[in-house]
C-alpha cells in the first residue's frame, strides 16, 4: 500500500502550516503587547503613586484574578485584575488588599507588592 500525495493534498498541507504559523505569531504578539502594557501601566503609576486598599468583591478561579472596588477622592472605581497564584490563595472575597494607583489616572491600579517589585527593578 503506497501513499500518494496529490497537488491538492500538498497545497492543503502548505496552507495548514501557514495558518499554524499565523496563529502562533498572533498569540506571541498579543502576549508581547500585554506585557508592554503592564510595564507602561506600572511606569505611569510610578510617576504619581497613591497607596490605598481595595475590597475584593469577587474571585475568578479560571483566570486567577480578582474583581476589586476602591475609592479615590470620593469616587468609586472597580477593576478586574489577574494575580499570581500565591496572592490568589492568600485572600478571600470581602477582604481588603493593598493597592497602588496613579493620582493622574486612578483607573491604573496595581497590587502594592507587584508595584514595589517593579520599583526595585526599575530605580
| Location of C-alpha cell 470620593 | 74
| pLDDT tens digits in sequence order for the chain, 123 residues long | 566 777 777 888 888 888 998 888 888 777 776 678 778 888 888 888 889 889 999 888 776 888 999 999 989 998 888 888 888 888 888 899 999 998 888 888 888 888 888 778 776
Residue-level pLDDT at 34: 66
Reported pTM: 0.64
Rounded CA separation 70/49 (Å) = 15
Residue-level pLDDT at 14: 86
Residue-level pLDDT at 111: 86
Residue-level pLDDT at 55: 93
Residue-level pLDDT at 89: 86
CA proximity to 110, closest of 64, 57, 62, 70: 70
CA proximity to 106, closest of 57, 55, 70, 58: 70
Rounded CA separation 83/64 (Å) = 6
Give the CA distances from residue 53 to residues 19, 22, 23, 32, 41, in Å, rounded to whole numbers and listed in that order: 46, 42, 40, 29, 18
Residue-level pLDDT at 90: 86
- Grid coordinates representing 37 are 502594557
98, 113 in Cβ contact below 8 A? yes
Domains of the chain: 40-121 (2.40.50)
Amino acid at each position: 500500500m503506497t501513499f500518494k500525495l496529490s497537488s491538492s493534498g500538498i497545497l492543503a498541507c502548505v496552507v495548514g502550516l501557514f495558518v499554524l504559523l499565523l496563529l502562533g505569531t498572533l498569540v506571541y504578539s498579543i502576549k508581547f503587547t500585554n506585557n508592554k502594557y503592564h510595564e507602561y501601566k506600572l511606569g505611569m503609576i510610578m510617576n504619581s503613586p497613591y497607596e490605598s486598599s481595595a475590597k475584593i468583591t469577587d474571585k475568578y478561579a479560571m483566570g486567577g484574578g480578582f474583581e476589586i472596588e476602591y475609592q479615590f477622592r470620593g469616587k468609586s472605581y472597580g477593576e478586574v485584575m489577574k494575580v499570581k497564584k500565591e496572592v490568589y490563595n492568600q485572600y478571600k472575597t470581602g477582604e481588603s488588599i493593598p493597592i497602588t494607583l496613579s493620582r493622574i489616572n486612578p483607573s491604573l491600579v496595581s497590587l502594592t507588592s507587584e508595584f514595589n517589585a517593579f520599583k526595585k527593578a526599575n530605580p
